[in-house]
Amino acid sequence: MSDRSPGLRLLSLLGCVLLWHVAATRHLSLPGLVTFANVPSPAEVLQAAWALLRSPKLAAHLASSLARVGAGFGAAMLVGVGLGLLIGRVRWVRAALLPPLEVLRPIPAVAWIPLAILMFPSSEASMVFVTFTGAVFPILLNTIHGVEAIDARLVASARSLGTRRWRLFSEVVAPAAAPSIVTGLSIGMGTCWFCLVTAEMIAGQYGIGYFTWESYTVQNYPAIVVGMLAIGALGMGSSALIRWAGDRLMPWYRPQRGAR
């Protein structure tokens, strides 16, 4: 479906921008429901984007956001994959850790923000914690799922070939669960950005989320949309980066169904 009718795909995108343009310049309004009176037009957004690109603050915004995502996601990857492998394979670890994790899992990471601000000495640390919380559960659950789905015959064969306890993890369990882990990392990366942006709006000094919210408070409306688009692009880009790295690291893996 990716290569078929690129013309149509482009046309549909252009159509949407055109609709946006018309709605914004005509100040379309459905009274009491929604109004485009304060929505900037595509041209204004383009100008604001250009202004941001030339602004010295862009690098600072990007750097803070990327550093927070890097720290939160990195920690979530270590904890999620490490615990996931153990919970999936070792019965007593599962019995000990799964109940508290099951209690924490349904709490959205964003709901942690007030408590995180109270718990951590700096707002920086609390934002990293919130992004960590957002990313860790998809990674953990996909890792557990990947470990549980391993063909028992594969493990039996490995043991018959002399693979002992810890080698079994590095040689068999981790690579067999790798496709599922990559899926978890990719989903986790998405939720990571989502949580970061929300946290930055509340506690941030710099960062793309902070930039978006600041633009609202100083009534620089076109910049809001620039911030939104930047957040989308960063989230999509980093998820694509993970899938690309996954494909490079797993040349042996081809999904049977195109669902992943």
Partner 1 sequence: MSPQGARVSVERVSLEVGEGAARFEVLDGLSLVAAPGELVCLVGPSGCGKSTLLGALAGHLPTARGTLRVDGEPIAGPDPQRGLVFQHHTLFPWKTVLANVAHGPKMKGVDRETREAEARGLLEQVGLAGFEDRYPRELSGGMQQRVEIARVLINRPRLLLMDEPFGALDALTRLRMQELLLSLWSRLRPTIVFVTHDIDEALFLADRVMVMSAGPARIVEEIAVPFERPRRAALLTRADFTVLKRRSLSLLGEGTAAPALDRLTPLGAPLPAPRWRYAT
Query: Footprint of partner 1 on this chain (CB under 8 A)?
Result: 137-138, 141-142, 144-145, 148-149, 151-154, 156-164, 167, 171-172, 175-176, 178, 184, 187, 250-254
Kindly state the smallest distance separating residue 81's Cβ from partner 1, in Å. Answer: 15
Torsion of CA 159, 164, 167, 172, to 10 degrees: 20
Compare residues 55 and 170 and give the one whose CB is closer to partner 1: 170
- Closest Cα to residue 74, out of 203, 188, 180, 231? 188
Give yes or no for a contact between 173 and 158, defined as CB atoms under 8 angstroms apart. Answer: no
Kindly state the smallest distance separating residue 167's Cβ from partner 1, in Å. Answer: 6
The three-state secondary structure class of 180 is helix
Kindly state the smallest distance separating residue 133's Cβ from partner 1, in Å. Answer: 15
Kindly state the smallest distance separating residue 172's Cβ from partner 1, in Å. Answer: 7
Spell 52-65 as b/e; 16+ CB within 10 A means b. beeeeeeeebbebb
Kindly state the smallest distance separating residue 224's Cβ from partner 1, in Å. Answer: 30
Compare residues 56 and 258 and give the one whose CB is closer to partner 1: 258
Compare residues 115 and 250 and give the one whose CB is closer to partner 1: 250
Kindly state the smallest distance separating residue 253's Cβ from partner 1, in Å. Answer: 7
If one counts every other C-beta atom within 10 angstroms of the C-beta of residue 164, the result is: 9
Compare residues 117 and 187 and give the one whose CB is closer to partner 1: 187
Compare residues 90 and 125 and give the one whose CB is closer to partner 1: 90
Compare residues 154 and 233 and give the one whose CB is closer to partner 1: 154
- Report long-range pairs for 143-146 (Cβ below 8 Å, ≥24 apart): 143/80, 143/81, 143/83, 143/84, 143/85, 143/88, 143/177, 143/180, 143/181, 143/184, 144/84, 144/87, 144/88, 145/88, 145/180, 146/84, 146/88, 146/176, 146/177, 146/178, 146/179, 146/180, 146/181, 146/184
